[in-house]
Structure 1
Amino acid sequence: MSFKKILWTFKRHPFLYLTRFRLLSKNSNVSEIEDFTYNYVNDKADIPEYFHQVNTSVFSDGKPDTDLEVVKKLSNWLANNIKGGPGLSVPSDEALKIMLEGKGGVCSDIVQVFNNFCVINGIKVREWGVTRAPFNKEYGGHSFNEVFCEELNKWVLIDVSYCTLFYYEDETTPLSVIELYQLLREHKNVHYKSFNEAKTPDKESVDKNYLNPDTIPFLICNYSNKTYDSFLKYSRPLVPIFMIHFVLFTISKSYYYKFPLDDYKKIFS
């Protein structure tokens, strides 16, 4: 087994996965997270210049009039230009370059890149993750975004990896993360639809990442792109990524998780 594979196996070990949740998780509620945004921690001026350059290409023929159409266009561009591949633990501008070269990028990488583009375009955004409760070592979780659309006056869940939105009774007003999981727990029928002609919604992936009854969502808070970029730039690849996260945790610069619908301790039951 190569050294890279050994590091990857160690990084994904269930002990480290559960330890991360024990250290970073906080119980919350819906009202407490309502005003949280990635933008609050990350200023437009702090986003690397490469994102601004690429953003000009994304909207070279103009920017749509509504927030929802802006994020759809951005999502389509990213989905059509990123093939995906291994996860990346590098500064955000380097990650974007690698992804656009077709050499890597998993859901969490795409989510973080999308966050930065939203900041540049003045759209409120935040990042969510899902896990299973109780813990299932066969499931590694999933990451996705949520944007606040001013014209709808609401948060909207958007999965950039699949260019997918979720709906309840119609296909005019997409659901937020909280709305989706409240409806699912009331055993209501929700449906989903891709807004990318080249992307057919993958039922198996949607069932696994969203609709499984053991799935619980958590909001990823306090992620400073500038801070993580700095540590990754000067520490990688010599220092394993989990050690970088631990150092940031000890100096109170780490991100953390908020669970608005569930007691996070259910993960360990």
Structure 2
Amino acid sequence: MLKALFPTAPLAAGGAEFHAPSIEEFFPPVVLFEGTPFELNRIMIIRLIVTLAIVLFFYFGTRRMTLVPGRFQSIVEMGLDFVRVNIAEDLLGKKDGTRFLPLITTIFFLVLGMNITGVVPPFNVAGTSLIGIPLLLAVIVWFTFIYAGLRKSPGKFLRNSLFPPGVPWYFYIIVTPIEFVSTFILRPVTLTLRLTMNMIVGHLLLVLFFSATSFFLYEWQEAGLFRLLSVGTFAFGFAFTLFEILVAFLQAYVFALLTTVYIQLSLAEEH
């Protein structure tokens, strides 16, 4: 199905062939440890590099904090304060916001770091463009909001989630299955697919525009005036690169925000 949506057949023009981007872009060959349980391809290596970079960023940014912060410490504090003030405490309050802040902060910066590699040479592909990382984070969020609800109100959480108060009893035949699917199935599914699909589409668009630029400018020897099309494809590619930077941030913000919202709903008084 995916190969039908993203065909790999080349387009011939003037003796050259233009190869459109395909879904195989996200399944690169193994680079290290082939044939072992630890084999790594380019995307896996990107994920490891991003994870290490985030750990080092916060380690060196917080190990010698001073009352009057330097430039690097200020950047780290600004990022941490953004998540704490605008996401965690804004929705959960100070007490619960502080309680779940490590998880929300980790999700935000991990997703942001994995997303931004899609526009960073020589990586040029997002670590979240394969479903593994988004799915793992969505499962963690799923367990977290269920844990939060059961710990806050073990006797009420499941009952009020599946049987909302104020609904006539005979409507529960319809309402309860809908609530079960929307709360316990669709939440992790939508978290996973929203992030993965955005990164896939963004990567394919960038590859399409910059591949077309190279094709018109260098590979199509008989292009003539058609070489001017490379200006347009490069302009679109540059514009979409800036847009992908915005999308990388927005997807990290949305993922962290929805995580907080789900926890907030689990902690709500009606539960």
Shorter chain as denominator, the TM-score bin is: under 0.3
TM-score calculated relative to the size of structure 2: 0.24
Choose 1 or 2 for highest CA Rg: 2
Between structures 1 and 2, the one with greater strand share: 1
TM-score calculated relative to the size of structure 1: 0.24
Between structures 1 and 2, the one with greater helix share: 2
